[in-house]
Structure 1
Amino acid sequence: MRRSSSLLATAIYVILSASMRRDKLAGNRAQSNRVYTRHRGAETQRNSHTMDKEIITVDLGGTQLRAARYDSALNLLAREHTLTGADDGLEAVLARIKAIIRLVMPANRERVESIGISAPGPLNSKTGVIVAPPNLPGWHDVPLGAIIEAEFGLPTYIGNDANVAALAEASQGAAQGCRHVCYITVSTGIGSGIICDGRLVTGHAGLAAELGHIPIIVDGGRVSSIELEAAGPAIARQARQAIRAGGNSDMLAVAAGELERLDARAVGMAAARGDALAVELLAYAGRIIGLGIVTVLHLFNPQIIVIGGGVSKTGELLFAPIRETVRDHALDSAFTAGLRIEAAALGDDVALVGAAALAATQGGDIDIATLDRRF
């Protein structure tokens, strides 16, 4: 009964906050015509009062929960972190999110312009609804945006972690100055975010750019996906299978002799030492990711591919086969002329910085060029 009452209350939040959100965002967008020097090509004038405003950001992960506050120049003013405690259930995590936001909230709340949240997908960035993230048990169609808006009375923007990272790298990182960007994270899963002509590509329901779930055919006919073949758990699975089949490798020694402890990090460490089997496993992952990038090239023609996430730390062991595959399989050299494939630059702060960019661009609706003048 408690859960039913909670979900009913959540539904009421959505209904009551819908009109409030429209009113707030209308005012916020009217104000943005003064904040940004250029909005959709129109010359506007800065408002010095608005430039003093601050943004609260939240990085909601399956393990870690972080929050920060930034000023209009993206200087860090406050930062807090705690464990998400996802296994404690929806209500407990919502309470922690609210609590950590309060910890970074300034005494003068009027200084805060908006809240940006990076969250695991799938989610609907248009409505602020978390659909069904695999690492947050019990989160099904949770209207997080409406809940946080109702709690704090501030416009709240939610983006999946890969989209948010794309905004971060485009505004402050490896893709700074580029208007056509694809960010790819390779970790426990594979996600992506795409910026096309300065704006985040979110699609009809905010679900666009899931590169990891592009289907591919492997092993003479088996249907798989980029993520199922090249994410961290896939690399570890393939390593364990190869060793069980008698493969000669030092990977098991790196994992302290315990096969089930052999993960993608151990594969990367062994590959860095020159272990042939580990090198081939990373090369296979790179070739699979490269095929996904070729699809992105043909659809969006980006200037730069930025790759982040834990597996990307293996460096050229992963990047070299990616580049080779892209070069070999692109339709024409015109698609790769001038293309940069680079490692992400922002590290662990990418989600918090990106959430600030998400809020500043009102969910990615405003051109990222405005961030050059805002931050």
Structure 2
Amino acid sequence: MYTIGIDIGGTNTRVALISKNEILEKYVFSTNINNSYENTNEILKIVKSLAEKVEIEGIGISCPGPLDLIAKTILNPPNLPGWKNYKIVEEISKATGLPTYIENDANIAALAEYLLIKEKPISLQFLTISTGIGAGFVHQGKIYRGAHGFAQEVFNIVVKPGAYSYGNYNSGALESVSSGSGIYKQALARGLQVGNTKDVFDLREKGNEEAAEIIEEAVEALAVGIASIIQIMDPEITVLSGSLVLNNQWIINELENRVKEKVHQDLKDKISIKLSEQNGDSGLIGAGYIATAEYNL
């Protein structure tokens, strides 16, 4: 059987025909961030053309949050200003007559990581550390959503009380201190002449003490956050992705060492933190998989 995976991003929307976690056809177009209905019409054109070729089992959608996964509604993603309270699942299922599912993009990425591992772990914790910070948790092959669909929204957990904050986040929130945006905004607040997050890391390499302090605080706060999450969720493996760690891979070993220092002694030898091996199509593959009968048993 075939499924269709849809990956909605702030820059591009991708639609793919998928079978057995393999992409058979893929289409990409620029996301209309200001008009959800026009964007959905473009999706539907592709879906209908694919449905004319093969029998489609279902449709899965990966979308940035915040989402109401119970009501299947896109709430108000910062990068999709024209999508507020949009019921995309209802629109697509009504137009196609096909079962349609939606998940937060971090949940989908967690599931894709799980699918990539040959010997499947019991549970997998996933975090993406990039412009923002997202997370997902997979247990025995299923995404853990929580009672209201908001599980793993870790961006606002407090990791450094009283520290820098921006937006509507808590003071010392994980995303404020440890994300790419947080590091960049802190650097500007401290008077550093930088144009992006990479510049802060470059200044650190050149011996700038202010930049080094900002990044040290970010890594330490991230270790505090990950240690707390691990002690609550007890994953078999923790996978990190996102541009901040992919471009600064020294952080992985540093985090693992620091996390081991912060967890209960019985957990120290069970900590496994690794870098993601996903390629750019993981969101599509994960989205396609949530639409399968196997996943929805």
Q: 1:86-137 deviations in whole A, cap 9, x for unaligned?
A: 03x232222233234345x14334x211111100111122332112212111
Q: How does 1:182-221 map to 2 (within 5 A)?
A: 182-219=125-162
Give me the whole-angstrom Cα distance separating, in 2, the residues matched to 1:361 and 1:339: 33
Q: Which residues of structure 2 form unaligned runs of 5+?
A: 165-169
Q: CA 1:149/1:322 → structure 2, altered by over 3 Å: closer, same or farther?
A: same
After TM superposition, give the deviation of residue 299 of structure 1 in Å: 1.1
Is residue 297 from structure 1 mapped to residue 240 from structure 2 by the alignment? Answer: no
Question: Which of the numbers 275, 279, 287 marks the counterpart of 1:347?
Answer: 279
Q: Percent identity?
A: 27
Query: In the alignment, what sits opposite 1:160?
Result: 104
Call closer, same or farther: CA 1:269–1:153 in 2, change over 3 Å.
farther
- Cα contact 2:33–2:79 (8 A) shared by 1: yes
Provide the C-alpha distance between the structure 2 equivalents of 1:292 and 1:128, rounded to a whole number of angstroms: 28
Query: Aligned runs of 1:1-375 on 2, under 5 Å?
Result: 53-72=1-20, 74-87=21-34, 89-102=35-48, 105-109=50-54, 111-173=55-117, 177-219=120-162, 223-242=171-190, 244=191, 259=194, 262-269=195-202, 271=204, 278-330=211-263, 332-360=264-292, 366=297
- Number of residues of Structure 1 aligned to a counterpart in Structure 2: 292
SS class of match (1:86): coil
State the TM-score, normalizing by the size of structure 2.
0.88
Shift of 1:224: 2.6
Structure 1 gap segments, 5+ residues each:
1-52, 253-258, 367-375
Moved more, 214-223 or 232-241: 214-223
Equivalent residue of 1:134, what SS?
A: coil
Aligned to 1:20: none
* Closer, same or farther: CA 57–264 of 1 in aligned 2, 3 Å: same
Contact 1:282 1:317 in 2 (8 A): no
Alpha carbons of structure 1 residues 357 and 277: separation in structure 2 relative to 1, 3 Å: farther
CA contact (8 A) 2:121 2:236 kept: yes
Q: CA RMSD in A?
A: 2.5
Kept in 2: contact 1:200–1:365 (CA 8 A): no
1:270 shift after superposition: 5.1
279-288 or 180-189: bigger deviation: 279-288
Judge which range, 137-146 or 273-282, deviates more.
273-282
Q: Does structure 2 retain, via aligned residues, the 8 Å contact 1:236–1:267?
A: yes
Task: Assess if the C-alpha contact under 8 Å between 2:106 and 2:135 holds in 1.
Answer: yes
Greater Cα offset, 274-283 or 164-173: 274-283
Deviations 1:240-272 (A, max 9, x none): 334x2xx6xxxx5xxxxxx4xx21233345556
Partner residue in 1 for 2:167: none
Q: Is the 8 A contact 1:283 1:318 kept in 2?
A: no
Secondary structure of 1:81's match?
strand
1:215 aligns to what SS in structure 2?
Answer: coil
- Relative to 1, partners in 2 of residues 1:285 and 1:101: Cα closer, same or farther, differing over 3 Å? farther
Supply the AA of the counterpart residue of 2:79: N
Measured in 1, the distance between the counterparts of 2:219 and 2:110 equals 20
Q: Tell me, what secondary structure is at the counterpart of 2:172?
A: strand
